[in-house]
Structure 1
């Protein structure tokens, strides 16, 4: 049986259904800024990092891209989202079972998320730190965030594996582009937005029934 050299998991929308939480905190920030976030811009934010999200927010609301104001917006968004994260995060179907199966099989794992470290640590209280050999967060890639490949390349470097021998698990167009650009094969389980098909990506409705053997078969 072919086995992945590692499995690289996205977090929001892939392992946990946290995009619904971000919906609330982003809407609260838009209200605080005096506007309403458009559905199209909200969809574009899925899989993005905090800095890009803030630029999209201010542009969508017709606000000047003032650095101080956007930094204040980032602080508010992080604080509000952390409050909501502490209230609990629901698993995506099949995600907890897949994490356990990969860990029990001894395949190396990484969490590769656009969410910043402080919020990721809160989420890991639900997900479980023990499932990951390394974690790469959105504020740890020197601004080279998804859809650029660096988050996945960094995870592979930390694990000492070839990205081309890894399977990434993603839910968003942004994250899928990053993983494909890094050379990974991607298992895509869309959550809130559709992801187009393409090279080195396999679409599936859920993670229910996915195991190490299935992940390995994607590489062949």
Structure 2
């Protein structure tokens, strides 16, 4: 049967979507901005440095560039560098934001099943609002940005906030992530997580179910990812892992 005719009996209370690298193929645009920032500080953006910043909050990403550039803490200006980076990202976003393969169809699938969705991103509100012009704010019951929680990903705060806004337990939600940082945040919050890696490898671990792409995603895949996480939680409570 097709998903339009068959709805599994058990579905998550909500699906919590990461944005950059999961719904939008925006990581290459962030890479341009971060590489140019690194050049402004006299260094090249190595693959290792770029991977270390993937999925980071803006302050964390800036700090890693400052460390790599050997800038003493007293000489750093995160406010100025943050402003420059956001302005550059805004320029790049305005030129067009491509979708990740299968993302539109996945969003429509979840919406069609009547499952509430929240966008949970480390991107600051200013840049996220530009991206939401492409994604569609109307798709989400709520949105949580990196500058709207005490600590961004990899801390669990963004995902805990998303569940709180919906009035549901984090374990009743399925998160969808692409990066090591985002996956760590989601699982630390207790969310079973469907991992669809993009620019960086994500290690296997508790609460994590992997899929190579969102293309062809079905409600059965969503159910299996969520219930697989619940099964792990139950096992842990029984003291078997």
Bigger RCO (CA 8 Å, 6+ sep) = 1
Gapped runs of 5+ residues in structure 2? 1-8, 228-241
TM-score (norm 2): 0.88
**Residue 132 (structure 1) aligned with residue 140 (structure 2):** yes
Aligned-pair distance for 1:68? 5.8
Q: Once the two structures are superposed, what CA deviation does each residue of 1:32-80 show, in whole Å capped at 9, x if it has no partner?
A: 2222122211101101001101100100111122476221110000000
Q: 1:106 to 1:66 in 2, by over 3 A?
A: farther
Q: Is the 8 A contact 2:193 2:226 kept in 1?
A: no
Larger Rg belongs to: 2
Residues 47-56 or 24-33, more deviating: 24-33
Residues of 2 paired with 1:219 and 1:120: CA distance? Answer: 26
Q: Once the two structures are superposed, what CA deviation does each residue of 1:174-219 show, in whole Å capped at 9, x if it has no partner?
A: 1001100111110000000000111110111000111333212222
> What value does the CA root-mean-square deviation take over the aligned residues?
1.1
Residues of 1 paired with 2:33 and 2:74: CA distance? Answer: 20
Residues of 2 paired with 1:82 and 1:28: CA distance? Answer: 14
Residues 116-125 or 100-109, more deviating: 100-109
In the alignment, which residue of structure 2 is the partner of 1:74?
82
Gapped runs of 5+ residues in structure 1? none
**Residue 171 (structure 1) aligned with residue 178 (structure 2):** yes
Q: 1:12 to 1:67 in 2, by over 3 A?
A: farther
